[in-house]
Every structure is written in C-alpha cells, then in structure tokens.
Amino acid sequence: MNNLNNLEKKLKIIFHNQNLLKQAFIHLSYLNESDKGTCSNERLEYLGDSILSFVISHWLYKKFPDYPEGDLTNIRSFLVKTKSLALIAGKLQLGDYLFLSKGEASAGGQNNPLLLANTMEALIGAIFIDKGLEITEEFIRQHFQPLLNEPADLDMIKGYKSRLQESIQAKTKQAPVYQTLKEEGPDHSKTFTVAVLSGKKVMGIGKGKSKQIAEQKAAEAALEKLKIKD
C-alpha cells in the first residue's frame, strides 16, 4: 500500500486533516480487522456524491447555455456513472491506497469498479470538508472535463442525435451520417465543425469543443430544419 503523502503530491492537494484523507480510503470491510473507533468512508461517499452532482450540474449549465434540461441530464449521468468514476479513480491509482479486509483485498477489491467509484466520491467529500468548495470544483473540473473529449462511451450522451436518428429512420429507413468538416485550434483546445447528412443531403452543421458535442449541435440544427419543413 502506498503512502498517502504520495497521493497528496499526485493530487497537488495537501490536507490539513490527514485522518480525514485516510478515512476516504477505509472500506467497510476493513473495520472488522481494525481498531475500534475507526470510521469507514461511507459518510464521505454520501457527501461526495452530492457535491459531485452539484458541481457537475452547475458546470454543465454554464458550459452549454443552449442545451435543454434533458441533454444536460444525459451528459451529467454519463460523467457521474460508476464506469466514469472508476476510470478516473484508476488513472489516479486510488486502489493502491485502499484499506481493505484481507478477504476483500485477496478478491481484488482494489480493482473493483464499484468500490473505486465509491472511493472517488469519498475523496471528493474529504476534499470539500478539508479545502472548501473552490478547490473541490477545480479538482472535479480537472479530472472530469477530459471525459467530454473521450470518444468511447460518449454515445450515451443522447438527446438531439437520438431524436434525429428516429426521425430520419422513420422516413428513409437509414441512419443519418456525421462527417467532420473542419478541425481548428491547438490540440488542447480544438473546435470541430461537423455536418449531419441524410443520404447525400446536408441536414445540419454544428460546432463544438469535441466531435461529440459538434454532432449534437448538428443534430439540433437538423431537427430545427425538419420542424420548419413540417
């Protein structure tokens, strides 16, 4: 098990309360083999879950001012789902710092996606208590924003795309096709321009900071065009 001081260096967050940081990594199973008075991370997980949902909701509300509630909800659900949380926890190697029972450890608990996701939420709760909202928001933004640029799994961000596909398929029996027209800007801050086509006909064009967001914008434009025609 790694020293929690190494984790602090990795996170670039130094805790005032070291016991609070340790508590974020204490799994319930560990209590059966530890001193009395030790608390698991479940209360911190509860708090972190609420803080994460609030911060992500606020961030998406500002980032996508034209998105309806349904699309914002879908994006938030994608960002805070177990798989996304476990992915970030894996990149931070949080499993290396877990306090587990011998049985849980031998069963590979340090790599269990659900356990890692819960630990991620507990860590967010601990950061909030120890460092306040501003640092917590920055931590969440830093580690969750890259997920919006990950091509894998972003099909879960449905909304305009799914509604357009249903509309096009009902009329033509074929799914719309998305085509990237342009990529502008440096690698860390690209802007994509995407067109959505039905057959050879361009139905809509959209721009965004990722291809997936640009596709959503293109689908939105296409739906507006279809409404005008209808």
DSSP labels, 98-157: -B--HHHHHTTGGG-HHHHHHHHHHHHHHHHHHH-HHHHHHHHHHHHGGGGG--TTGGG-
**Does the active-site annotation cover 49?**
yes
Q: Give me the catalytic one of 121, 137, 215, 220.
A: 121
CA distances from 32 to 19, 40, 66, 97, 100 (A): 19, 11, 51, 18, 10
Residue 93 falls in which region: left (phi positive, over 0), alpha (psi -120 to 50) or beta: left
CB 141, CB 59: distance < 8 Å: yes
Q: Which amino acid is at 159?
A: G
CB 146, CB 91: distance < 8 Å: no
Q: Which two tokens stand for residue 164?
A: 């357009």
Give the DSSP letter of residue 26.
B
Q: Which two tokens stand for residue 147?
A: 């997920």
Q: Which residues are catalytic?
A: 49, 121
